[in-house]
Chain A
Amino acid sequence: EVHLVEAGGGLVQPGGSLTLSCGASGFIFSSFSMNWVRQAPGKGLEWVSYITSSSSTTSYADSVKGRFTISRDNGKNLLFLEMNNLRDEDTAVYYCARGSGWLDSWGQGTLVTVSS
């Protein structure tokens, strides 16, 4: 069974940094592209970033480009999202999700709160 578990969320001040991680199990992690998707409180889903299986290609939403960096460690079955210069509007539950195109498996999410 596919299992994705996010960690690293918390309270951070505007302008601060945070790194999220997503541990994967139940599938061959190194064979799949991965994504981060976020959901602000009471709002809809927003795709954030994508990385191919070999890390050769990454893509970002305009709202995070230049501030967030996606990466992965296939040897440890881990996906990361490094978030810098955080803003109030980055407050959200962050989900990792598997797939290239449709997203067929999601983690339970980790809450990031940006507030002074």
Chain B
Amino acid sequence: DIQMTQSPSTLSASVGDRVTVTCRASQSISTWLAWYQQKPGKAPKLLIYRASTLESGVPSRFSGSGSGTEFTLTISSLQPDDFATYYCQQYNSYPYTFGQGTKLEIK
């Protein structure tokens, strides 16, 4: 199975900050990677697929990059609504696997 490792596990930041979350795959997954946002008690929400394609309706302050084994999710200017947990997911091969999550907290 492909292991997905996110860093950091927790990130403290302030409104207006630029933040980056990293996701590493245990083997190359080309650009078969998605990012999700999850708020407490809610279902995950798709943000980005194919490593860098923004899902319709997602604010442009979110962006993704990377290929192969290393990927990043960047939020250019944090908004109050962005404090949540973020997950990466590979879909290069079954079983699909998720990173362990990065909790973005208010500093």
Q: Which residues of A contact B (CB under 8 A)?
A: 35, 37, 44-47, 50, 59-62, 95, 101-109
- What are 15 sample pairs from A and B whose C-beta atoms fall under 8 A apart? A44-B101, A45-B44, A47-B89, A47-B95, A47-B96, A47-B98, A59-B95, A60-B95, A101-B32, A101-B34, A102-B49, A103-B44, A106-B44, A106-B45, A109-B43
**B101 to chain A: which residues have CB within 8 Å?**
44-45
CB-CB under 8 A from A50, the residues of chain B are 94, 96
Within 8 A of A (CB), among B38-96: 38, 42-46, 49-50, 55, 87, 89, 91, 94-96
Q: Which of A35, A50, A103, A106 has the most CB of B within 10 A?
A: A103
Contacts of B89 in A (CB 8 A): 45, 47, 102-103
Nearest-CB distance from A22 to chain B (Å)?
A: 12
- A7 → chain B closest CB, angstroms: 15
A95 to B44 CA separation, bound complex (whole angstroms) = 9
**Whole-angstrom CA separation of A95 from B43 in the bound complex:** 8
Assuming A45-B44, A47-B95, what are 17 further A-B pairs, CB within 8 angstroms?
A: A44-B99, A44-B101, A45-B38, A45-B87, A47-B89, A47-B97, A59-B95, A60-B95, A62-B95, A101-B49, A102-B46, A102-B89, A103-B89, A104-B46, A104-B55, A105-B46, A106-B44
Give every chain A residue within 8 A of B34 (Cβ-Cβ): 101-103
Beta-carbon contacts under 8 Å, B11-41 to A? 32, 34, 36, 38
Residue in A closest to B91 when the chains form the complex, CB atoms: A101
A95 to chain B minimum Cβ distance, whole angstroms, is: 6
* B42 nearest CB neighbor, chain A only: A108
Please name all residues of chain A whose beta carbon is closer than 8 Å to the beta carbon of B87 when the two chains form the complex.
Answer: 44-45
Among A59, A61, A102, A106, the residue within 8 A (CB) of B43 is A106
The reply on B7 being an interface residue by CB < 8 A is no
Known: A44-B99, A45-B89. A102 touches B50 (CB 8 A): yes
Inter-chain CA distance A59–B95, complex, in Å, is: 8
Complex Cα–Cα for A61 and B100 (A) = 16
Q: Which single member of B42, B46, B95, B99 contacts A61 (CB below 8 Å)?
A: B95
